[in-house]
Amino acid sequence: MTAQKESTHTTDPHAAGLVASLLPCPEPVQFVDATGRRVPGGEGGRGYAQPTAEQLVETWRRMVVGRRFDVQSTALTKQGRLAVYPSSRGQEACQVGAVMALRPDDWVFPTYRDSVALITRDIDPVETLTLLRGDAHCGYDPIARHTAAQCTPLATQLIHAAGVAHGEARRGRDTVALGFIGDGATSEGDFHEALNFAAVFNAPVVFFVQNNKYAISVPLSKQTKAPSLAYKGIGYGVPSEQVDGNDAMAVLAVVNHAVQRARDGGGPFLIEAHTYRLDAHTNADDATRYREADEVTDWLTRDPIARLEAWLRSEGLVDDARVEEVTAEAEAFATALRDRMNADPQVDPMSLFDNVFAEPTPELVEQRYMVAQEIAAEQEEQE
C-alpha cells in the first residue's frame, strides 16, 4: 500500500484565510468619492497604501493629456484621418493609473481601446494611431517598448502576457506584465486559460479588466452571473480585487500593490475596475440603440479627472496656474498631433511582401514581381 495518499490540491482550500485572501472586497475599493473627498476606510481593510503625491499629480496630468488625445482622435476620425477609433473617454483613471504603476521595462499588453495607455507609456501618438489610421498594423516596436501590438482578437493577448512574464522571470529579471482586457472579453476562453497558466507558473502578471459596462451593445448582465468579474480569480487561485475605476487614486493604489506583489514573486493578480465608456463603442457605433442618455449623464458626474483634480486642489497639490499649464500642454499635444496627422502618410505597396517570413517564399517573390509590374504599368499610364 502507498504510504500516504497524495493531496489532490496543492493547498488546502479550507485552510483558514486562503479563500478570503483570494476574494475581492465586497464593494469596489474607493479612496476618493465622486465629489473629490477622501473616503475614510475606503481601502476595504486591505491596507492598500495611498500613492505618493508625486505619482498622483503625474497621473492627473497624464489623464488630462490622455482625455485631450482621445477627443482629438475622435475628431480625426470625423475628418477621415483615422479608419476607426475606439474611444476610452471616461476610462482615463484605468488606462493612466494602470500604466503609472509600471516601470518602463515592465510589459503591457493592450487592446484596441487602450490608446491612452500607450501614450502614457510615452509611445509617440502618431505611432500609437498607426493601426487606426490604417497605414500598418502597428506603428511602434513592441520589443523595444515592451508593449505588445494592440490586440483585437479578444482575450488572446493575456496568454502572451503570461508567457512573457514567465520567460522574463526565468531569465532572472523582475519585470512584470500587465494585460488589459474588457468586461465582455472575460467570457472568452483565453481569459480563463491565461489566468490558469499565470497561476500554475506563478507568472508575474497583473490582469486588469476595464469593466466599462458594455461589450459593444451587450451589457454585462448578459455576460456573466458572477457577483463581480473579480470573483473569476478565485477558481484559479489568483487573488483579485475590484476597484472604483473612475477613482485614479484607488486604481493606482491597487495596481501598485498587485505589481509589487508580482515583482516580489507573489504571482498573478486580477483587478476589475468599474468604469464607463462615455462614447459609443467606436465612431461607427450608435450607442443610442442600446442605452439611455440618462445613463451617460449619470456617469458624467463621476468623471475621473474632475475627481482627482478636486482632491489635489483640496490638498494644495495643484492650483489654478497648474491646471492652466496642464490644459495648455494637453492642447499643444492635440494640436501637434492634428498637424502631424494631416500629412498624408506614404505607404509603400512593395512593403506588403516584407515580414511575411524572414525570407520571402518563391510565391512571394513571384507576387512581388507581379505587383511591381502592375505599379509600373499604372505609372506609365498616368504619364
Partner 1 sequence: MTTLTMAQALNTALRDAITQDDDVVVFGEDVGTLGGVFRITDGLTRDFGEERCFDTPLAESGIVGFAVGMCMAGFRPVVEMQFDAFGYPAFEQVVSHVAKMRNRTAGAVQLPMVIRFPYAGGIGGVEHHSDSSEAYYAHTPGLKVVSPSTPADAYGLLRQAIEDPDPVVFMEPKALYWAKGEVQTPGQPLPFGRAAVRREGTDVTLIAYGPSVPVALKAADAAREEGWDVEVVDLRTITPFDDDTVARSVRRTGRCVVVTESHGFAGVGAEVAARVQERCFHSLAAPVLRVSGLDIPYPAPKLEHTYLPGVDRVLDAVARLQWDDEPDTRWLDSARGGAA
DSSP 6: P
Q: How far apart (Å, rounded) are the C-alpha atoms in residues 200 and 203?
A: 8
Nearer to partner 1, 17 or 172 (CB): 172
Select the residue interacting with partner 1 from 67, 121, 133, 166 (CB under 8 A). 166
182 binds Mg ion (CB under 5 A): yes
136 binds partner 1 (CB under 8 A): yes
Contact 116, 88 (CB under 8 A): yes
Kindly state the helix (H) or strand (E) to which residue 206 belongs, with its residue range: strand 205-211
Clarify whether 290 is annotated catalytic. Answer: yes
- Minimal distance in Å, beta carbon 108 to partner 1? 12
Catalytic residue among 62, 133, 277, 302: 277
167 binds, among Mg ion, partner 1, ligand TPP, none (CB under 5 to 8 A by kind): partner 1
- Minimal distance in Å, beta carbon 204 to partner 1? 12
124 binds partner 1 (CB under 8 A): no
Catalytic residue among 290, 291, 322, 338: 290
167 binds partner 1 (CB under 8 A): yes
Dihedral angle of Cα 23, 25, 29, 33, to the nearest 10 degrees: 160
Select the residue interacting with partner 1 from 194, 252, 287, 308 (CB under 8 A). 194
DSSP bridge partners of 88? none
Select the residue interacting with partner 1 from 161, 230, 250, 271 (CB under 8 A). 161
Clarify whether 276 is annotated catalytic. Answer: no
186 binds Mg ion (CB under 5 A): no
Write the CB contacts of 208 (distance below 8 Å, at least 6 apart in sequence). Answer: 94, 98, 178, 179, 180, 181, 255, 271, 273
55 SS3 class: helix
Select the residue interacting with partner 1 from 93, 94, 159, 178 (CB under 8 A). 159
Kindly state the helix (H) or strand (E) to which residue 273 belongs, with its residue range: strand 269-274
Q: How far apart (Å, rounded) are the C-alpha atoms in residues 6 and 132?
A: 53
- Minimal distance in Å, beta carbon 17 to Mg ion? 33
212 binds Mg ion (CB under 5 A): yes
Kindly state the helix (H) or strand (E) to which residue 248 belongs, with its residue range: helix 248-263
Cell numbers found for residue 337: 498631433
23 binds, among Mg ion, partner 1, ligand TPP, none (CB under 5 to 8 A by kind): none
Nearer to ligand TPP, 179 or 267 (CB): 179
Cell numbers found for residue 175: 519585470
Taken in order 335, 337, 340, 341, the sign of the CA dihedral is negative
Clarify whether 277 is annotated catalytic. Answer: yes
In the block, residue with C-alpha cell 520571402: 360
Nearer to ligand TPP, 166 or 277 (CB): 277
* Closest to 240 in 3D by CA, of 228, 226, 223: 228
Catalytic site residues? 277, 281, 290
Enumerate binding residues for Mg ion (CB under 5 A). 182-183, 212, 214-215
**Which residues of the shown chain bind partner 1 in the complex (CB under 8 A)?**
107, 136-138, 141-144, 148-149, 153, 156, 158-168, 170-171, 177, 189-190, 193-194, 196-197, 200, 354-358, 361-363
